[in-house]
Structure 1
Amino acid sequence: MDLPRIAPMLATPGALPPPGRDAAWAYETKQDGQRAMLYLGGDGGLVVRSRSGEDVSAAYPELRALGRALPAGRAAVLDAEIVVLDESGRSDFARLQPRMGLAGSPARARRMAVSDPVHAVLFDLVFLDGRLLTGLPWTERRQELEGLALEGPAWSTPRALVGHGEAALRATREHGLEGLLCKRITSRYEPGVRSKNWIKIRNMRTADIVVGGWLPGGGRLSGLPGSVLMGQRHAGGLRYVGSVGTGWSESERTALARLLHAAEIDDCPFSEVPPVAGAHWVVPRLVGEVRYAVRTRNGLLRQPSWLRLRPDLTPEESAADFE
């Protein structure tokens, strides 16, 4: 069956709906993975397309069996998030990253499917058996999706919770999950649109870090830090935990530049030299606070944003547990 190409609907960053409207919204766990549209042609085949529309099927060979999960002749287009799960069953983007971009390397993809298998989290159904479902409300699409009973070794259809948004958000925080998706239960599917009918709430953490270096900015930021290199005390040394280049106002970036220029040194202060080119090293005495999403398996802070300098803290107080 020829299936319509459908762009994924996108969520808008925001907050929980007001308590008085809570029952009008459904809540799903926000996964930390790669968004994908899955095309089941009814002949046992499966095409996986990324958010941009690129065919990435060859990167995820373990998902092929999903094409045979529906009876012969039944065709569907599913909206999903492709993740790699850690030992606790949480999505781990650091483990997924090596799997992404392997559409042109099928042999390597097959090897990695054994060591770091992916899992497709199915959360919407936009086409089924010749019917375009985008005009249906979320509740009806969800009912159709759950009716397919798509549960398998590399895919699942997690339940959504209608109402109880505060409890749902609290649960994601307590379990160390990335965040929450809030979906208006009357909402239609809007292909390619970043809609306020879907709201995403990301759980962010904060950390105290030591500045060990900086990278120059370009253009209007010439002479100013484009990003700073972060470290945290660990095992008697300063361990590199990534770089941060957002969160400053213009005046804050200028003030930070003066401090960094005054603290420049020749030798790298990190226990191991970070894999960055063109770095300027500094005496590791400036402590800052950053907001971030998760700590990756190799200790880096993902999606960091600068919050403020912490002159009240010493570098030794930036110690972190990396285990």
Structure 2
Amino acid sequence: MAGSTARAGLPDPVLPMLAVDGELPAAGYGYEIKWDGFRACLQIAAHGDVRVTSRLGNDVTRTYPDVAEAITSALAGQAGVLDGELVVLDESGRPDFGRIQTRHQRGPNSTLLRTNPVTFFAFDLLHLGGETLLQAPYEQRRAALADLDLGDNPRITVPPYYTDRDVTPADLLDVVEQQQLEGVVAKRLDSPYQPGKRSRYWIKHALIKTQEVVIGGWKPGEGRRNGMIGSLLLGAHDHDGQLVYIGHVGTGFTERALEDLQRRLEPLHRATSPFDTVVPRDRARHARWVEPLIVGEVVYRKLTDNRNSERRLRHAAWRGLRPDKEPREAKVPPLH
């Protein structure tokens, strides 16, 4: 299944269309549940060959062979391109972000494939049978996606979408919150697909406050963590492209995650801070600085402004690495 970025008969990859943050509009939109996983594009050839590409366009077919193998006959001999999310479900049927991270490694062994099976949640159809659907309205693309006969394959599913005729955005958010899901995305029913663009045609409303961060350094811990990572020093890019310090995180790590971070960060050591703003003295003292190349994600309770109008994450906890994101994509969050 794996191969180069160009293989005979495979449609070209499509960079994903991205949503902006905001309140959910009341009418004229389709509402989808926001699934907690890794964005991906599936390209299927008419003869059954499959390529899986990441949000950045990288070929990750060998990382998700279970998905690639399951979808070889999904389009019944037609070439096509699907947009969606790679998700690992827990025992209660909810997305488990930690487990999809565990799966994100090239050539997973049979144990990992069995204990952390990935499901592709297909929520858009971009090409079918040699015809592009990029300019077709969302509602039409969704109807074409629903018409595909994907059978009962557990490795691929088409989640439903709703309109204001079915449910109000507020009621849907209540249900999503009760089920402890991530949030809702509203997509304009008459909107085209805009590859690689963050568009106001799509509006996401997250119930969990998360932030993509760049790791700029770490501080050694104490006790059991003596000499190891105690906390990470975090940054994000402002509108001028500067790497701004936005806080630290010292909770939410598993032992395995700490060991993995230590292994990744040690080779990136540098003598000086990579941040373009001043790190508070108590955080900078004894800090081990690193090249700002690794992106992670934290969940946080509150975002504040200090006296110098500098943003700070409060009560942050580590969620995990984001290998599907580049450092420049981690932006300073707005105050709400």
> TM exceeds 0.5?
yes
- Given that 1:139 and 1:185 are in contact with CA atoms closer than 8 Å, whether structure 2 keeps it comes out as yes
Shift of 1:91: 0.8
Percentage of identical aligned residues: 35
Q: Name 2:33's counterpart in structure 1.
A: 29
Aligned counterparts of 2:21 and 2:147: Cα–Cα separation in 1: 30
Q: Is the 8 A contact 2:63 2:104 kept in 1?
A: yes
1:12 aligns with 2:20: yes
Please tell me whether residue 179 in structure 1 is matched to residue 183 in structure 2: yes
Separation in 2 of the partners of 1:229 and 1:190? 35
Change (3 A) 1:14 1:71: same
Tell me the distance in 1 between the aligned counterparts of 2:48 and 2:59: 17
Is 1:143 equivalent to 2:150 in the alignment? no
> How far apart are the structure 2 equivalents of 1:131 and 1:186?
19
SS in 2 for 1:162: coil
Structure 2 residue identity aligned to 1:38: L
> Superposition pairs for residues 229-240 of structure 1, below 5 Å?
229-230=249-250
Question: Shift of the alpha carbon at 1:169?
Answer: 1.4
Once the two structures are superposed, residues 142-175 of structure 1 have per-residue CA deviations (whole angstroms, 9 ceiling, x without a partner) of 0100000324121100110011211111111111
1:229: Cα distance to partner?
Answer: 4.3
CA change 1:195–1:307 in 2 (3 A) is closer
Taking the aligned partners of 2:156 and 2:207, their CA distance within structure 1 comes to: 24
TM-score normalised by structure 1 residue count: 0.65
Amino acid across the alignment from 1:160: Y
Amino acid at match of 2:119: H
| CA distance, structure 2, for counterparts of residue 16 and residue 225 of structure 1 | 30
For 2:196 and 2:245, locate their aligned partners in 1 and report how far apart those are by CA, in whole Å: 35
Matched, 1:193 2:194: no
Larger radius of gyration: 1
Matched, 1:68 2:69: no
Are the structure 2 counterparts of residues 148 and 308 from structure 1 closer, same or farther at C-alpha, using a change threshold of 3 Å?
Answer: same
Query: Partner of 2:141: helix, strand, or coil?
Result: helix
Structure 2 counterpart of 1:124: 124
Structure 1 residues 89-238: aligned runs within 5 Å = 89-102=93-106, 106=107, 108-150=108-150, 151-163=152-164, 164-204=168-208, 227-230=247-250
Deviation at 1:5, TM superposition (A): 2.7
Alignment CA distance shift 1:169-1:43 (3 Å): same
Q: Is the 8 A contact 1:99 1:109 kept in 2?
A: no
Query: In the alignment, residue 304 of structure 1 is paired with which amino acid?
Result: Y
How far residue 139 of structure 1 moved from its aligned partner, in angstroms, is: 0.7
TM-score (norm: length of structure 2) = 0.63
Residue number among 300, 303, 308 corresponding to 1:304 in the alignment: 300
Contact 1:59 / 1:109 at 8 angstroms: preserved in 2? no
Amino acid of the structure 2 residue aligned with 1:88: S
Rounded to whole Å, the distance in 1 between the matches of 2:246 and 2:28 is: 43
Distance 2:41 2:58 in 1: 10
Q: CA deviation at 1:44?
A: 1.7
Aligned pairs for 1:71-82 (under 5 A) are 71-72=76-77, 74-82=78-86
Distance 1:278 1:62 in 2: 39
Instruction: For 1:215 and 1:67, locate their aligned partners in 2 and report how far apart those are by CA, in whole Å.
Output: 42
Distance 1:215 1:125, change over 3 A: closer
Where in structure 2 are the equivalents of 1:224-303 lying within 5 Å? 227-230=247-250, 278=288, 302-303=298-299
Indicate the residue corresponding to 1:296 in structure 2: none
Alpha-carbon shift at residue 215 of structure 1 (Å): 5.7
Which has more helix, going by share of residues? 1
2:52 partner amino acid? V
Preserved contact between residue 60 and residue 109 of structure 1 (Cα < 8 Å):
no
Structure 1 stretches lacking a partner, 5+ long: 207-211, 219-223, 233-249, 267-276, 280-300, 310-317, 319-323
Judge which range, 159-168 or 119-128, deviates more. Answer: 159-168
Structure 2: distance between partners of 1:169 and 1:227: 29
Give the RMSD, CA atoms, in angstroms.
3.5
Runs of at least 4 residues off by over 2 Å: 108-111, 212-218, 224-232, 301-309
User: C-alpha offsets along residues 249-272 of structure 1, whole Å, 9 cap, x if unaligned?
Assistant: x99x85xx57x79xx9x9xxxxxx
Residues 1:215 and 1:167: Cα distance change in structure 2 (over 3 Å)? closer
